[in-house]
Amino acid sequence: MTLASTANADGVLIRDQMVAGRVVEINRQSLTIDLCDGKMVEFKWEVGLTLLVNSSCVSPSRAGLAVPESCDRNAGIGFDVGFRGRADPVHSEDVAFSQKTGFHISGATEVAHGPLSQVNYVRANSGCLDNAKFVVPSDFCVEPKQFAVNFSYDAPLPNRILTRGFSFYLETSQPFREPALAELREAIRGSFGTAINIWASDLWQRRDRYDKKLSSLLDGMASHSKDGFTMFIPPQVIALACPQTATFVIRVFSDPGPFARPPQKEILAAVAATPGRTILLNFNDYPCWKNALFKYVVDDATSCVNLVPILMHELGHAFGLLHEKEEIKSIMNPVILATTPSDTDLDRLAARLMEFTTGQPPGEIPFVDEGVAVRLK
C-alpha cells in the first residue's frame, strides 16, 4: 500500500509501515480510515496493528506507545488503549468509534464512553485483560455491562426505528434521588418492554397477512418445542446509565416544560418524535405513573396513569404512525381508552415498517404540538 503523508492525521501502524489518514469508524472486527482524499480503507484487526490518534496538526507520532505485553495466544483479539498523559494502557475486550456516538471501550464488567481526542492509540493484542485496571479518563461515562437475549442494534426492515434490541437513557427535568430514580427507570424499562412485546406478539398473530420480510422477522422471534409449545421472544429493552449508545431518550418533566399550555388546550400526558427516538412524559400534570400491564389506562381510585398503553401509543408515533381520531378502540386514538392495539393499528404498523424511515435521532424532537391526552374518568 502506498504511504500517505498528511497533516492533521491519524495513522495506522502495521508491520512498521505507517498509513496516514482520518479515522472514520472502529468496531471489533476492523477500523476504517479516510486517506484524506475521500478514499476509504478498511483494516482488519490483527495482533500488533495499531491506530495512532492525532489531535494536533502534524503527522502521527509513535511517542507514548507502550511496549506490548505477552499474553495467551489462544485468548483471541483484545485491545490496548493508551490514553493521553498516561504511561500504562487499559486492556479492553472491545473498542468502537463513530462520529455520532464517540469512542467506546469495554472491560469485563463495565463499558465506558467518551471523546476520541482523549485516546493516544489503540493496539490489537492477543487477549490481554486486567479487570482491576479498567480506569478511564474522568470525563468518560462509565456504566455496568448488560446482557440480553438475542440483543442487537441491527435494523432488519426499511423502517430503521425498529431494531432487534432497544435501549433508552432516562432524563429528568428535576433531580430524582435514589432509590426513586432506580424505581422510575425500572418501571419505564418494564413498561417499554411490555409495549414492544404487545406490538410484536400481536403482529406475529397476523404475520401471514404481511410482507414476507416482516413475516420472516416475526417468525424468527418464536421458538417451538416438540410438545407444541411456542415461546415468543420480542426485541429486548435495557436501560442505560450513559446516553452515548442509547437508541431512545425518555424525558420526564416534573415541571410544565414543553407541556405548558393555555387554559383552553387539552393537557397532554406524553409526546413522541414522529418518527423518531424521543418520548416526553408529563409528570407535572400527572404525577403518578405505574406499570399496570393491561389493567387500566388511568386508575379510577388513585388517578395513576398506566405507562404501558401510553408507551405503546408513543412507540406507535416513534415508528411513524399518526393519530386515528375516528377509531375509538385504536391505541393511536388521541384519547386512549384501549390497552392493546386494534387489528387496524397492527395493519397500519405493518405497512409503516416496510417504508424506509430513519426518523429523528435520540434526544431530538422537532416540535411539541401533538401528543396523547389521557381522559380521567
* Residue 290: how many other CB atoms lie within 10 Å: 16
Verify that 190 and 111 share a domain, yes or no.
no
List CB contacts of 136: < 8 A, sequence separation 6 or more. 83, 90, 105, 112, 114, 142
Q: What is the pLDDT of residue 77?
A: 82
Q: What are the strands of the beta sheet with 236-240, ordered from one edge? A: 236-240, 165-172, 248-253, 278-282, 270-272
In the chain, the amino acid numbered 324 is E
Residue range(s) defining the domain that contains residue 42 = 10-144
Over residues 345-363, the mean pLDDT reads 97
List CB contacts of 368: < 8 A, sequence separation 6 or more. 258, 259, 271, 280
- Domain assignment present for residue 3? The answer is no
Verify that 113 and 169 share a domain, yes or no.
no
- Domain assignment present for residue 48? The answer is yes
In the chain, the amino acid numbered 272 is A
Verify that 311 and 177 share a domain, yes or no.
yes
Residue 79, strand partner residues: 92, 124
Percentage with pLDDT > 90 across the chain: 65
Are the beta carbons of 136 and 150 closer than 8 angstroms? no
Verify that 127 and 196 share a domain, yes or no.
no
Stronger pLDDT, 271 or 373, i.e. the higher one: 271
Percentage with pLDDT > 70 across the chain: 89
What is the C-alpha to C-alpha distance for residues 65 and 149, in angstroms, rounded to an integer? 38
What is the C-alpha to C-alpha distance for residues 143 and 241, in angstroms, rounded to an integer? 6
- Residue 171: is its pLDDT beyond 50? yes
Verify that 134 and 198 share a domain, yes or no.
no
- Domain assignment present for residue 157? The answer is no
Verify that 338 and 193 share a domain, yes or no.
yes
Q: pLDDT (tens digit, 9 = 90+) per residue, 293-312?
A: 989 999 999 999 999 999 99
Verify that 70 and 111 share a domain, yes or no.
yes
Q: How confident is the model at residue 206 (pLDDT cuts 50, 70, 90)?
A: very high
- Residue 265: is its pLDDT beyond 60? yes
- Domain assignment present for residue 293? The answer is yes
- Domain assignment present for residue 347? The answer is yes
What is the C-alpha to C-alpha distance for residues 85 and 55, in angstroms, rounded to an integer? 13
The pLDDT mean for the chain works out to 88
pTM of structure: 0.87
Over residues 249-265, the mean pLDDT reads 90
Domain count, the chain: 2
Q: How confident is the model at residue 9 (pLDDT cuts 50, 70, 90)?
A: low
Q: What is the pLDDT of residue 147?
A: 85
- Domain assignment present for residue 363? The answer is no
What is the C-alpha to C-alpha distance for residues 305 and 288, in angstroms, rounded to an integer? 6
- Domain assignment present for residue 43? The answer is yes
- Residue 69: is its pLDDT beyond 80? no
Q: What is the pLDDT of residue 368?
A: 74
Length of the chain: 377
> How far apart are the two ends of the chain, measured CA to CA in Å?
72
- Domain assignment present for residue 296? The answer is yes
CA distances from 232 to 76, 93, 95, 205, 312 (A): 34, 31, 32, 11, 18
Verify that 170 and 134 share a domain, yes or no.
no
Verify that 113 and 182 share a domain, yes or no.
no
Which CATH number covers residue 278?
Answer: 3.40.390.10
Verify that 169 and 117 share a domain, yes or no.
no
CA distances from 377 to 130, 286, 303, 374 (A): 58, 14, 9, 9
Verify that 138 and 171 share a domain, yes or no.
no
Verify that 170 and 290 share a domain, yes or no.
yes
